[in-house]
C-alpha cells in the first residue's frame, strides 16, 4: 500500500510539470485561438538561453530577467510576422504555421547555443523526504510549489489587472473586445510573452531534472493528452489533466507495463485522453461548440 501511495504521489507531482507546459498552451489558445505546437520549442529556447547566460557568469536573477526580455522580443516578432498576416485564417492553418515556427525556434536555439546536453543547477537538492512511511522527492515538492505559485500569480494577473481583464474579454468574444477598443495585437504580444515565460519556468524545472537538451522540446507531445483531458480553454482543466495524466502514467508503468513489455509511457497518456474524448468530445472542461450551417 505504501508503495502504491508513493507511486501515486510521484505521478501527481510529475503531473504538475505537465500542467505547467499545458498552461502555456491554454493561455495562447484562449487569447488567439492558436493551437501552439511551438510551445515545446519555445520552452527549449527559453531554457537554453537561461543556461547559456548562466554559463557566461550572469547572476541568477539577471539571467532570468534577460531571458524574459528575449522571450518578449520573440513574442513581438511572432505577433508581427506570423499572427498578424494570418489573421482570420482557419485554425488548422494557424496550427501548421506554429509547426513551422517550432522548426525555426529549434533551429535557432541549437544553431546559436549548441546541441549538447547542458547541466542546469537551480540549487534544489534531489533528496528524498519522508512523510511517515511515504517517501517523496524533495525536487518534486519544490516543482509542485513553483507551479502553485505560478498559477496563483496568473490567476491574480487575469482577475485583478487591466491587461488581464482585457485578455479575458478577447478570449470571451474577440469581436466585441475589438469594438470596445481593446488592442488585439498588443494582447497577443502579451499573451505570447506570458506563455513563453511560463514555458521558461517549465523548461527550467524539466531541465534541472534531465539536463537542458533537445528532448525538452518533446514535452509538447506529453502536454497534448493533458490538454485533451482538460480541454483547450481551461487553466483549471490543464492542472487537473496534468495530475490525471501524471498519476495514471506512473501507475500504469508500474502495474500494467511489466505485463505488456514496458515502455508504455509514450502512448498510454494518449489512450487515457482518447477514453475521455469518447465520453466528452470537447474535453472535461471544454465548451461544446454548437454548429450552424
Residue ranges in contact with other proteins by CB under 8 A? 35, 81-82, 85-86, 89, 91-93, 95-97, 99-108, 110-111, 115, 221, 224-225, 228, 232, 260-264, 266-267, 270-271, 273-274, 277-278, 281-283, 291-293
Nearest CB to other proteins, comparing residues 157 and 270: 270
Of 161, 169, 287, 148, the closest CA to residue 230 belongs to 287
Buried b (16+ CB within 10 A) or exposed e, 248-257: bbbbbbbeeb
Minimum CB distance to other proteins, residue 277 (Å): 5
Nearest approach in angstroms of CB 145 to other proteins is 30
Q: Which is nearer to other proteins, 142 or 269 (CB)?
A: 269
User: Could you tell me the smallest distance in angstroms from the CB atom of residue 270 to other proteins?
Assistant: 3
Rounded distance between C-alpha atoms, residue 86 and residue 91, angstroms: 10
Nearer to other proteins, 98 or 166 (CB): 98
Q: At closest approach, how far in Å is the CB of 17 from other proteins? A: 19
Nearest distance, CB of residue 96 and other proteins, angstroms: 6
Closer CB to other proteins, residue 100 or residue 128?
A: 100
Given the complex with other proteins, which of 151 and 272 has the nearer CB atom?
272
The CA distance from 137 to 18, in Å, is 17
Smallest gap from Cβ 253 to other proteins, in A, equals 13
Scanning the chain, the segments in alpha helix (DSSP H) are 2-32, 39-55, 60-78, 91-113, 138-160, 162-172, 174-179, 184-210, 219-230, 235-255, 265-279
Nearer to other proteins, 97 or 204 (CB): 97
How many Cα atoms are found within 13 Å in the side-chain-facing hemisphere of 17? 26
As a whole number of angstroms, the distance between CA 145 and CA 28 comes to 23
CA–CA distance, 127 with 125 (Å, rounded to integer): 6
Q: Each residue of 121-133: b (16+ CB within 10 Å) or e?
A: eeebeeeeeeeee
Amino acid at each position: 500500500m505504501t508503495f502504491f501511495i508513493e507511486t501515486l504521489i510521484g505521478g501527481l507531482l510529475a503531473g504538475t510539470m505537465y500542467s505547467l507546459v499545458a498552461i502555456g498552451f491554454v493561455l495562447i489558445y484562449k487569447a488567439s485561438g492558436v493551437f501552439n505546437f511551438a510551445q515545446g520549442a519555445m520552452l527549449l529556447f527559453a531554457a537554453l538561453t537561461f543556461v547559456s547566460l548562466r554559463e557566461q557568469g550572469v547572476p541568477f536573477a539577471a539571467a532570468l530577467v534577460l531571458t524574459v526580455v528575449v522571450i518578449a522580443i520573440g513574442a513581438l516578432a511572432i505577433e508581427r510576422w506570423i499572427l498578424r498576416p494570418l489573421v482570420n485564417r482557419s485554425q488548422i492553418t494557424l496550427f501548421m504555421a506554429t509547426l513551422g515556427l517550432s522548426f525555426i525556434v529549434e533551429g535557432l536555439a541549437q544553431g546559436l547555443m549548441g546541441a549538447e546536453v547542458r547541466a542546469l543547477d537551480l540549487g534544489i537538492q534531489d533528496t528524498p523526504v519522508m512523510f511517515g512511511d511515504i517517501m517523496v522527492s524533495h525536487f518534486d515538492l519544490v516543482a509542485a510549489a513553483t507551479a502553485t505559485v505560478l498559477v496563483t500569480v496568473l490567476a491574480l494577473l487575469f482577475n485583478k489587472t487591466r491587461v488581464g481583464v482585457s485578455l479575458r474579454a478577447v478570449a470571451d468574444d474577440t469581436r466585441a473586445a475589438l469594438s470596445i477598443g481593446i488592442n488585439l495585437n498588443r494582447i497577443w504580444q502579451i499573451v505570447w510573452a506570458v506563455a513563453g515565460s511560463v514555458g521558461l519556468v517549465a523548461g527550467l524545472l524539466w531541465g534541472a531534472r534531465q539536463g537542458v537538451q533537445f528532448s525538452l522540446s518533446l514535452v509538447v507531445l506529453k502536454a497534448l493528452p493533458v490538454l485533451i483531458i482538460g480541454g483547450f480553454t481551461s487553466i483549471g482543466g490543464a492542472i487537473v489533466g496534468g495530475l490525471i495524466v501524471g498519476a495514471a502514467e506512473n501507475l500504469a508503468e508500474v502495474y500494467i507495463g511489466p505485463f505488456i513489455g514496458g515502455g508504455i509511457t509514450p502512448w498510454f497518456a494518449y489512450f487515457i485522453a482518447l477514453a475521455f474524448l469518447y465520453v466528452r468530445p470537447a474535453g472535461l472542461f471544454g465548451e461544446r461548440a454548437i454548429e450552424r450551417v
